[in-house]
Structure 1
Amino acid sequence: MSQKPRNKLSVRVPRDTLVDDSEDGPLILGILDLSLPCRRFVVEHKVAEVGKVSVTAEFLLRFVKALGSCSEEDAQTFFGYSRREMAYVLAEVEEADYVDRVEGRLTLTANGTGLFQPGSDDPLIFEVERNTARIGLDLLSLAPADSRSPSVFELSLPELPLADPAQISSATDRVPVQFRRHFRELSPRMDSVAAARRSLYSIDAVRAEERFTNVVRVKLVSTGMKPMQVEVDLSDWRSDHELADREAVSRSVVQITERLGCSRREDDVDAYRLLIELAPEYLNEWTRRDGLSVERFYRHAFTARGDVRADRQTTPILGSLFTAENARRLLEVANYGLRRTKHPSPVLFWTVPQAPLWGSTSIMSEAVDQLRDLVMRAGDFCQVEAIALTAGKPEPWIKRGFTGWRESQSLVFPGGFEMLLAPCGFVAASVHAPIGAPSGVPVPLGFASFDPRIVDRAMAMLAGQAPRFGLNEALSQELISPPVSLDPET
């Protein structure tokens, strides 16, 4: 007789960390592009280029060096020179101040001795020539900076702060020291052929010219266990050995990223509740009576990292939408959603969260353009608008990254709430708030979906607030779901 198996009871043990040690790993929270102020300088300088003496003079110098001192007759006899030939060779080395002639004896001068480098029997000379270099240096570390024409969007990016404003006014005075320090790096740009044989002899004058900007790509990296603690990764901008010469830039980046930290807002709970309202079926597993179990959903988002598929309409999003991985997921969700819909809309709405430096990366501008292209092809539209919805005046890079924007006079949605909506196509929503600690860098957490139910709820949610953003009738109409056409034969 078999016994009926008893149901097992499990006790949930509280976690000390957000994820287990075995699950931990790097987490890219976001990407920032920051403007680095630079300037072109004209540097008048002299370079010493290694050359060789004539063959006859070289043999004579070697002979005198080997003997320490010799008579003119000994040298003439050794080489078999005629009196005229000997006079010619002696004139060359004496005029160059390589040999002293005293009472018919030859000895090397200090300059002549200096021609022989340690370990070498070949006498070398240095030919000094005047040069003028036009170089670009950043104004924080005065290290070499590439000069290229930035895009209109890049010109609007936030600028790295200067530790001391006097750095700009005193830059010209500091250029000679830095030019000498970085001469080996700059020399190939000025003359790639002769660079290896040249050394800097003197710096005669420096003149400042026009300013320009470089873009510093900053990767914000944390871990699954401590997502609110970030480290700055500049490897996409410069290599390790180059960063060693640009410590002032690194310090400025750290200074600006320290502004990202914040404490939990009172309305963060309401922001997570909006996620549940949008996707109750998807978030059911992580929903409690008092709202979303943020830490449990966070763990799922960190460990799942599943690909978007036709049978997986909703995928978790952890970190900014403007990281390479999340941008890829977003485009995949958009592709599925736009292929499914019969009623694409020629407009994208992006509710911008109250998060410092949100969208300050060219990835945002590129993502907006790519999404517009997808919608344009799906609906055969001539033009697709991308509208940023902001509480208050938008940042300059947001104005440049979108085709238009609408401002509300006060918060419409909770401060940390972000939502991208392509009506009848797809939606992405997340909350920017610290996770695992009362304060720290906000950790965007949410989902992207092409589930028609979630898209319809997002349309209804935004339509209810359209007047507060000042959306006109045409834009508001795009948020109304088209009527479902019924087959008369069904």
Structure 2
Amino acid sequence: MNDFDLSEPTQVSSFGFNVPCREFIIAAQVTRDKRMPMVDEFVLRALNLCESVSVSRLTRFFGFSQTEMEIVLADLQARSLITLEGNEVSLHSTGKELFRTAGDGPPVITDVESFPARIWFDLISKNMIRSRGLHNVKNLIGLTPSLGRADIPESFAREAFHDNFRDYLRLIRHIKNPEAWGLYAISDVAPGRFSYAQISGKQSLVLRGQPKLETSLIETGADRPQKLRLLTDAMSRALESIRDPDPTAAARSEYARLTYSTLIDDSINAEGFVDLAAWLKREQAHRDPDIASFVGSPCLERNRKNLTSLIARNSERGQSPQAWDLFWFRPGGTIWGLTEDLQTTVGELKAMSRRSPSGEGGLVATLIAPASVSSDSVKRFDRIFDRGLGARAGRGSLSVEVLLVLGVCAVVSVLVPLGNGVNVWIGRITVNHSDVARIADRLRPDDLEPELVSLWTENRTRPR
């Protein structure tokens, strides 16, 4: 299990947003400063010290042959850096300008080159936004364009690119030395397509003093938060409209029946809240190589790695010979699954199933939702799960979540209160065969079960 440092903020959930965006294709020319060849630099430095010098004297000074010096001077003259009058050579005004702009540093050459750019602006704050294969991810939190910002004129895109060119290089293109680049000209701006950018956020638990939850929306540079205020405000409003179910004593009792563990109830303090440190200490005292406790959503990267490592270790012992079937009993509330971590978790388990001895057909993933969650809300996940089932009222607890892979593993978590308004998911992962079988018997994850109603199916029993 994880060894948590409770003195530091601990991530307990993640979520993602679909941010509406508009693309612009920009044709520009940029300048880049390059260090000139050493011979050219030394010749220009010598000429900068003396206003004019004979070619023969310059040749002797550098120890060049006459032919070598002629080649060097011809190249510098072609670039209008020197002036040749008979046998005398001097710096051209262009060459002198190199030393004025370089200061104490070496003279540099400025090259002009074409620079095509595809830039996305979000339709809420009208800021440039980084893209990574923009598309609409159905299960994320959708944001709508701000009033009057559903479209962006080409003139705005041109001006924004001009005024924020260095920010674009640093934040969007990840160029390490944007100061070496300059925007020479913008020759064309053409509107592109509409799409969505995915931006992730997280919530972290802080236990210094009274427990509290801190929400992080967009990680930005020091100068960016004010520019993105409209976007972060829209994200905050969207988060306020969704929520977890309420933690209940009945949910903790159901968790105890599924896991055969009363350690959560044993860790409730005098105020009626769960003492997280006490629960973790009790879990550590009951170490079992087939069991790991966790804090936060099971989809979080650290919990996902813990799960896959337990499965892999169990597979090495020759366990789980049968084909894999995944059943995800989601809890109630409206915030569950609104994260790309869900796709990643299901994807990693499918990949593991294909690598298993019985994995020729892969894994069938089934989502089972409580009756309190509307069928339309459940169908947002039909690109992640092969099948969707709705449970009838009264089946299961709204504040318990179970990820069950028959014969392989079970992940059981429950929402518990740590303080006033501070509720966090905690739970156990088990690959113990008896535990997994017992949990499966109690949950009865069968689409023929009369308490379950089919919402969608891929009409196949095993993915290819």
Partner of 1:463: 444
Structure 1 residue aligned with 2:340: 362
Asked whether 1:209 is paired with 2:192, we answer yes
Which of 353, 373, 382 aligns to 2:331? It is 353
| Contact preservation (8 Å) 1:30, 1:219 | yes
Structure 2 counterpart of 1:108: none
CA contact (8 A) 1:308 1:332 kept: no
Partner of 2:150: 168
CA shift in 2, pair 1:308/1:260, >3 Å: farther
Distance in structure 1 (CA, Å) of the matches to 2:418 and 2:380: 27
- Relative distance call for 1:168 and 1:345 in structure 2 (3 A) is same
Aligned to 1:28: 11
Offset of residue 209 of structure 1 = 0.8
**Compared CA separation, residues 48 and 326, structure 1 to 2 (3 A):** closer
Evaluate the alpha carbon distance shift between residue 128 and residue 451 of structure 1 in structure 2; reply closer, same or farther with a 3 A threshold: closer
Are 2:216 and 1:232 equivalent residues in the alignment? yes
| 8 Å CA contact retained: 1:141, 1:246 | no
In the alignment, structure 1 residue 278 sits paired with structure 2 residue 278: no
Aligned to 2:57: none
Q: 1:428 aligns with which of 402, 411, 420?
A: 411
Q: Unaligned stretches of 5+ in structure 2?
A: 37-43, 53-95, 456-460
2:306 to 296, 321, 329: 329
Give 1:243 shift.
4.5
Q: Does the C-alpha gap of structure 1 residues 210 and 256 become closer, same or farther in structure 2, counting only changes over 3 Å? A: same
The one of 383, 405, 409 equivalent to 2:362 is 383
Matches within 5 A, 1:45-444: 133-139=116-122, 140-148=125-133, 155-159=137-141, 161-162=143-144, 164-170=146-152, 172-186=154-168, 199-200=182-183, 206-224=189-207, 227-232=211-216, 234-235=218-219, 240-241=221-222, 243-244=224-225, 247-248=228-229, 249-261=231-243, 264=246, 268-280=248-260, 282-283=261-262, 286-287=265-266, 295-296=273-274, 298-302=276-280, 311-335=288-312, 339=317, 341=319, 344=322, 346-376=324-354, 377-391=356-370, 392-393=374-375, 394-395=377-378, 398-408=381-391, 410=393, 412-432=395-415, 434-437=417-420, 439-440=421-422, 442-444=423-425
Q: TM-score scaled by structure 2?
A: 0.66
CA gap 1:175/1:157 in 2 versus in 1, 3 angstroms: farther
> Structure 1, residues 293-348: CA drift from partner, whole Å, max 9, x if none?
97446333455785997x44333222000112111222234345554756645311
Residue ranges of structure 1 left out of the alignment (5+ in a row): 1-21, 53-57, 67-74, 76-112, 473-477, 479-490
CA contact 1:334–1:371 (8 Å) conserved in 2: no
Relative distance call for 1:208 and 1:147 in structure 2 (3 A) is farther
1:324 alignment partner AA: E
- Distance of aligned partners of 1:285 and 1:337 in 2 relative to their CA distance in 1, 3 Å threshold: same
Q: Check conservation: 1:232, 1:254, Cα contact below 8 A.
A: no
Structure 1 residues 470 and 25: alpha-carbon distance in aligned structure 2, compared to 1, 3 A threshold: same
Structure 2: distance between partners of 1:342 and 1:49: 59
Question: Structure 1 residue 251: deviation in Å?
Answer: 3.6
- Give deviations 1:198-255, integer Å, cap 9, x for gaps: 64466576431113443323232121355552221644xx6x3574475244444433
User: How far apart are 1:179 and its partner, in Å?
Assistant: 0.9
Q: Tell me the TM-score normalized by structure 1.
A: 0.63
Say if 1:307 and 1:357 are closer, same or farther in 2 by CA, change over 3 A.
farther
The one-letter code matched in structure 1 to 2:216 is: V
Tell which deviates more after alignment, 446-455 or 244-253. Answer: 244-253
Q: Pick closer, same or farther for the CA change 1:417–1:128 going to 2, 3 Å.
A: same
Counting matched residue pairs gives 401
Relative to structure 1, is the Cα distance of residues 205 and 305 closer, same or farther in structure 2, using a 3 angstrom cutoff?
farther
**CA shift at 1:115, angstroms?**
10
Distance 1:327 1:397, change over 3 A: farther
Deviation of 1:129 after TM superposition, in Å, equals: 8.1
Contact 2:203 2:215 in 1 (8 A): yes
| 2:411 aligned counterpart, secondary structure | strand
CA distance in 1 between counterparts of 2:328 and 2:104 reads 73
Residue 448 of structure 1 is matched in structure 2 by 429
Decide whether the 8 Å contact of 2:217 with 2:232 is kept in 1.
no
**1:429–1:120: structure 2 CA closer, same or farther, 3 Å change rule?**
closer
The amino acid that maps onto 2:400 is F
When residues 207 and 447 of structure 1 are mapped into structure 2, their CA distance, relative to the original with a 3 A threshold, is: same
- Aligned residue for 2:419, secondary structure, equals coil
Tell me: CA distance 1:120–1:457, structure 2 relative to 1, closer, same or farther (3 Å): closer
Determine if contact 1:336/1:450 at 8 Å carries over to the other structure: no
Letter of the 1:331 counterpart: T
Task: Say if 1:303 and 1:356 are closer, same or farther in 2 by CA, change over 3 A.
Answer: farther
Q: Secondary structure at the match of 1:321?
A: coil
Shift of 1:27: 1.7
Q: Is the contact made by 1:345 and 1:422 (CA closer than 8 Å) also made in structure 2?
A: no
Q: Paired residue for 1:72? A: none
Question: Is residue 201–residue 215 contact of structure 2 (8 Å, CA) maintained in 1?
Answer: no
Question: Cα 1:185–1:277, aligned 2, differ >3 Å: closer, same or farther?
Answer: same
Measure the CA separation in 1 of the matches of 2:9 and 2:193.
41
Q: Work out which of the two has the higher radius of gyration on C-alpha atoms and give 1 or 2.
A: 1
